[in-house]
Amino acid sequence: MAAVLLVEDDETIGSLLESALRMHDYDVMWSRTGGDALRRMQIDEYDIVLLDLGLPDLDGIEVCRRARGITPDALIIMITARTQEMDVVVGLEVGADDYLTKPLRLRELLARLHAHLRRGTSSVVPLRVGEMVVQVAARRVTLSGDEIALRPKEFDLLHRLAQEPGAAISRDTLMADVWDTHWRGSTKTLDVHIVTLRRKLAGAATSSAPAPTITTVRGYGYRLELPAP
Ligand code: CA
């Protein structure tokens, strides 16, 4: 049973989400403030943090940043109003894995949670791209043996790209395989994750261990390049 920390100050939305999640076998703890949510994260472990960005006490982005520090392995899913696009970009930068926009559709929320959890279990075959090794079962990426710390979605995205190094993979395919099969919304989250992946790969590279790079294929998607020999 997956443990969800629901962070939402709105009583109507909160109680709706709480009962819907319970009905679908999630173990739900509901926090109405950012401060309370951060305290609970320090006490208990959660698989998923469902974080409304509009909270009465703390800025939702700040809660997200601190939550990532407290609970590095939890999936953090932001809930935001459609008008707050900048929040989404910043939130993904500070460690959120995904976002949903209000008004929330329960079916979409449940489908996403299910998809996230399903992908938590993967095969055991390590993938090698140059000096980089993607250990699928352990969810670790190393470059010449040194681990590159990745967020869960960054790992999933790099894993997907590394399955076909040198091949262009379309945005639709990446969104479907890494996020949700039926996702029809904004794909900004993909670009943000590419930006952070590129930065982390470049940061881990050394002269003796060049990292693979990610090329933008304009109007199509992305391609993981083998490092130059
Ligand atoms: Ca709110």
Q: Are 173 and 67 in a shared domain? A: no
Number of domains forming the structure of the chain: 2
Residue 124 pLDDT class (50, 70, 90 cuts): very low
Q: Are 174 and 68 in a shared domain? A: no
Token pair for residue 9?
A: 């100050």
- Is residue 33 within 8 A of residue 9, CB to CB? The reply is yes
Q: Are 103 and 155 in a shared domain? A: no
Q: 91 C-alpha to center of ligand 1: Å?
A: 15
Place of tokens 């992946």: 197
**Would you mind telling me the total number of residues written for the chain in this entry?**
229
Q: Are 105 and 157 in a shared domain? A: no
Q: Are 111 and 132 in a shared domain? A: no
Domain residues for the domain of 182 are 127-225
3-30 confidence digits (pLDDT tens): 999 999 999 999 999 999 999 989 999 9
Q: Are 139 and 200 in a shared domain? A: yes
Q: 69 C-alpha to center of ligand 1: Å?
A: 22
Token pair for residue 176?
A: 């479907």
Q: Are 50 and 71 in a shared domain? A: yes
Q: 185 C-alpha to center of ligand 1: Å?
A: 22
Whether cis (ω within 30° of 0) applies to the bond prior to 210 is: no
Mean pLDDT of the chain: 87
List the CATH number of the domain containing 177: 1.10.10.10
Q: Which amino acid is at 156?
A: D
Q: 57 C-alpha to center of ligand 1: Å?
A: 10
> Span 123-129, mean pLDDT?
65
Q: Which amino acid is at 107?
A: R
- Does the pTM exceed 0.85? no
Q: Are 54 and 114 in a shared domain? A: yes
Q: Are 35 and 72 in a shared domain? A: yes
149-208 confidence digits (pLDDT tens): 999 899 999 999 998 888 899 998 899 888 865 556 667 889 999 999 999 999 999 888
> What residues are neighbours of ligand 1 (ion), with CB under 5 Å?
9-10, 52, 54
